[in-house]
Amino acid sequence: MAFKRLSRRQFAGITAWSVVGVSSLSAGSSQAAPAREDGSPNRGPSSSFPSGFLWGTATSSYQIEGAVNEDGRGPSIWDRFAHTHGTISDQSNADTATDHYRRYKEDVQLMKALGAKAYRFSIAWPRVFSEGAGTPNPKGLDFYNRLLDELSANDIEPFATLYHWDLPQALQDRSGGWTSRDTSKAFADYAAYVAERLSDRVKHFFTINECSRLVHLGHGIGADAPGLKLSQSELNQVRHNVALGHGLAVQAVRAHGRAGTRVGPAENAVSCIPAIETPANIRAAEIATRELNAGYLTVMLEGKYTDVFLAQAGNDAPKYTAEDLRIISSPIDFVGLNVYTPDHYVVAADNERGFTLAPFPASFPHMNAAWLRPGPEAIYWVPRHVAKLWNVKSIYITENGTSGSDQPAADGTVYDVDRIMYLRNYLTQLQRATSEGVPVLGYFLWSLMDNFEWSDGFEQRFGLYRVDFDTKRRTPKLSASFYRETIARNGVA
Ligand code: PNW
C-alpha cells in the first residue's frame, strides 16, 4: 500500500535507523560504559524504561475522524460549536478532519512503522447513540469494530476513551448537557453498551478525557463547546455532574465489561512543581496538588471534597448526596494523566495554605502554542505526587507532546527538532520517575498525526506525522524517527 512505499523511502531518508535492540545492560556498574559497537552512546542502565513499558500514541474521535454525517452519526456539540461563527481561530471545523474514518487502515500502519504497541483513541458517543440515548446505531459502533480488528491484526493494544468532548448535541438540547445529571446517567448507559460489545478486545477504558478542561473551557469561559459562560454555582454543579458521570461509567464498565476489564480516568491534573527540590517545597507541591485538583482527582480518589474547596465555594458549592460521593470514588484500576506543562511552580510558605504559587515571569519560554510552557520535570512530579498522595499503583501517561510550526524544509522533510527537544527532555524525566519506582506503566504520545486542535483549528500541529489537510496525505516528521528509536531501545534516543 501507499504507506509502505512512503515509509521506507521517507524514514530511510530522514535518518538511518540504527538497529539498536532493547538495551538490557547489566546493572551494578557505576562507571561510565563505553560507546556501543554501532557508535551510539551507551548511557548505561539508567537510561532504559522498565521491561514491558508500553509505548503508544493518542488521538481523539472528533479531532481525526471526519465523516460527521456518515453511517447514522448524530451531531455533537463540537459540530455545532465549530460551525458557529467566531469560535475557531481559522474558521475551520472537523467535518473531514484527517479523514481517519476512511483511512484508519493506513493510520494503523503509521503506528506500526513507529513500533508502537498501544493506541489510545476515543469513541464518538454520537456515532453509537445518535441522539445520546435510546436506540443504538450499530453502524456507528461497527467503525470501532473495524478499527479494533485492524489493531489486533497488527499487534497493537487498544486503549479506548469513552468521552473526549463530543457530546451528542441532542443531550445538550434536551437536558442542558452536563448542567444536568441526566447526562451523567446517559453517559453510564452509553458506557455500559460499549463495554458490553467491545470489552472482548478492549481491556482498558478511560472514562472522561480531561474533566477540568471540559468544565472550565466549555462551561466557564466558553472557549470550547458548548461555549457556555456559567455562574460559579452552575459551574460547580457541572463539575460535580462530570465527576458523577465518571463514577457511574466506572460502575457501568465493571458491570457490563468482561472480567478483567480495567477502567480509570484520563485527567490533566493541575501540575504543581516544587520550584526548588527541597523537602519543604516538595511537601508544599503535594498539598497544592491535592487542593488544586479538589473537584477532580481528589474527589475521585478520596470520595470527598476538601474542606478548603467547600469553604471557598461557600454558597456556590455543588448540591450532592453522600451516595454521589460514593459513586464518584468508585475504585479505579489506574489513573491516566495528560501532562504537557507545569501549571504552577510551588514554594513552601508559612501561610494558611502552606504554599505560594510563583507567578510566571514574562520571560518564561513557550512552545508554538502560547500555553505550552516546557517544564519537563512536570512529567516526573505529576505521577509521583499522584502515586504518593493517593497510593495509586498504576499510572499511564495518557497524553504528552507539543505543537510546532512544522514547516517542511526544501527537501520536504519537517525537521521538528523543537518537538524532539521537548520529547527528549520529558522522556528523560519520565525515566527518572520509573527508575525511582513511580508506577508508570505506559506512555501515549499526543499525537499520532496532526489534527483538528479544537478552537485553534488546524493552526496548531501536534503530530508525529504531518497531515496535508487538503490532500490528507500523511508524512513522517523527524520526530517520528526519534520516537521510533526511543521505542526500539526502550530508552530516550
Ligand atoms: C489536550 N492546557 O488538551 C486534549 O486532551 C487534546 O484533545 C488536545 O488536542 C491536546 O491536549 C493538545 O492541546 C489540553 O492549557 C489543552 O494546559 C490545553 C491544556 C492542556 C490540555
pLDDT (tens, 9 = 90+) of the chain, 493 residues, equals 333 333 333 433 333 322 222 232 233 333 444 455 666 555 544 579 999 999 999 999 999 999 999 999 999 999 999 999 999 999 999 999 999 999 999 999 999 999 999 999 999 999 999 999 999 999 999 999 999 999 999 999 999 999 999 999 999 999 999 999 999 999 999 999 999 999 999 999 999 999 999 999 999 999 999 999 999 999 999 999 999 999 999 999 999 999 999 999 999 999 999 999 999 999 999 999 999 999 999 999 999 999 999 999 999 999 999 999 999 999 999 999 999 999 999 999 999 999 999 999 999 999 999 999 999 999 999 999 999 999 999 999 999 999 999 999 999 999 999 999 999 999 999 999 999 999 999 999 999 999 999 999 999 999 999 999 999 999 999 999 999 999 999 999 9
316 C-alpha to center of ligand 1: Å?
A: 27
Dist CA 125 CA 147 (whole Å): 16
> What one-letter code names the amino acid at 24?
S
Pick from 357, 332, 450: nearest CA to 401: 450
Ligand 1 neighbour 371 (Cβ under 6 A): yes
pLDDT at 428: 98
Dist CA 252 CA 327 (whole Å): 11
22 C-alpha to center of ligand 1: Å?
A: 31
CB 238 within 8 A of CB 178: yes
Query: CB within 8 A of 287, min separation 6: which ones?
Result: 353, 354, 355
pLDDT at 285: 99
| Phi, then psi, of 464 in degrees rounded to 5 | -80, -25
Dist CA 150 CA 310 (whole Å): 48
Ligand 1 neighbour 456 (Cβ under 6 A): no
For ligand 1, atom 8, which residue shows the shortest CA distance? 453
> What one-letter code names the amino acid at 223?
A
pLDDT at 46: 56
Buried b (16+ CB within 10 A) or exposed e, 309-331: beeebeeebbebeeebbebbbbe
Dist CA 120 CA 142 (whole Å): 18
Ligand 1 neighbour 458 (Cβ under 6 A): no
Q: CA neighbours within 13 Å on the CB side: how many for 210?
A: 20
> What one-letter code names the amino acid at 123?
I
H or E stretch covering 142: helix 138-153
Q: Which three cell numbers stand for residue 104?
A: 484508519
- Predicted TM-score (pTM) above 0.85: yes
Q: Which of 210, 286, 377, 453 is catalytic?
A: 210
Q: Is 131 a catalytic residue?
A: no
Ligand 1 neighbour 65 (Cβ under 6 A): no
How far apart are the two ends of the chain, measured CA to CA in Å? 29
Residue 444's DSSP bridge partners are 56
Q: Is 210 a catalytic residue?
A: yes
Residue 207 DSSP symbol: E
> What one-letter code names the amino acid at 33?
A
SS3 of 335-363: EEEECCCCCEEEEECCCCCCEEEECCCCC
Helix boundaries (H) for 15-137: 61-64, 77-82, 100-114, 125-128
pLDDT at 39: 61
Dist CA 266 CA 25 (whole Å): 33
Ligand 1 neighbour 271 (Cβ under 6 A): no
Ligand 1 neighbour 340 (Cβ under 6 A): yes
367 C-alpha to center of ligand 1: Å?
A: 13
Q: Which three cell numbers stand for residue 367?
A: 512552545
445 C-alpha to center of ligand 1: Å?
A: 12
